[in-house]
Amino acid sequence: DKTVSLRKDLSEMHEWITQAEEEYLERDFEYKTPDELQKAVEELKRAKEEALQKEVKVKLITDSVNNFIAKAPPAAHEALKKELDVLITSYQQLCSRLNGKWKTLEEVWACWRELLSYLDAENKWLNEIELKLKATENVQGGAEEISESLDSLERLMRHPEDNRNQIRELAQTLTDGGILDELINEKLEKFNTRWEELQQQAVRRQKSLEQSIQSAQETDKTLRLIQESLAAIDKQLTAYAADRVDAAQVPQEAQ
């Protein structure tokens, strides 16, 4: 009987749709590790593609039902037509929901990768600060050399907040959805702790270098005054020597 065969095809397709909904749309997913998240993205992509491949099967069933209805008595039309409409609607909804969930998870995965990228960039900058702090630990030389070290440190510290804001926003987006929350919180705590510590060290180093510059400037000034004084005495003594003045005849400081 053709009706029985058609109803069997419709029933099997309904069963497949129900099973796909239970497996991919109604099951609770937990993403605690990047591997779990990536696996879910790939799984949903396969499910979406598999559902699209079933379009041929749905079209065959639709054509078979419509051909049967065209030839069968009107009494057999209504029930079969209703079953077909339900199947088509269910199938289209499944495809739409699978595609929507896959796109959402793809965006989540991209969000996670972007977060890692920003964290990597900021940690590289923090590495540069660490190296700069070591390089300016014991600066030798006068006020000019110390001033150059201070300028290079201050240039490095003039780092835009954009990346850090992006890290905060991306992390908030993911953890609000309960995705990789433990891992993200751990990474953020480590990054923020390091950021704060290096910022404080840099501020202390800036103040230290500023004080060193001031001390060097005072030393330079004292040395300049001594040199000027020595030059004046040298000039005076040279004049005394040229005039063959006896030491006992000149003021005591000249002696």
Tell me, yes or no, whether 102 lies in a domain: yes
Residue 246 lies in a domain: no
Start-to-end C-alpha separation, the chain: 137
The domain of 105 spans: 2-212
Q: Is 83 domain-assigned?
A: yes
Is 136 domain-assigned?
yes
Position 235 in a domain = no
Structural domains counted in the chain: 1
The average pLDDT across 119-148 equals 92
Both structure tokens of 54: 């079933």
Each residue's pLDDT tens digit, 22-75 = 999 887 777 889 999 999 999 999 999 999 999 999 999 999 999 988 887 776
Q: What are the pLDDT digits (tens) for 81-109? A: 899 999 999 999 999 999 999 999 999 99
Burial class (CB in 10 A: 0-12, 13-18, 19+), 56: exposed
Identify the CATH number of the domain in which residue 19 sits. 1.20.58.60
pLDDT at 155: 93
Question: What token pair was written down for 119?
Answer: 């964290």
pLDDT at 73: 73
Q: Would residue 30 count as lying in a domain?
A: yes
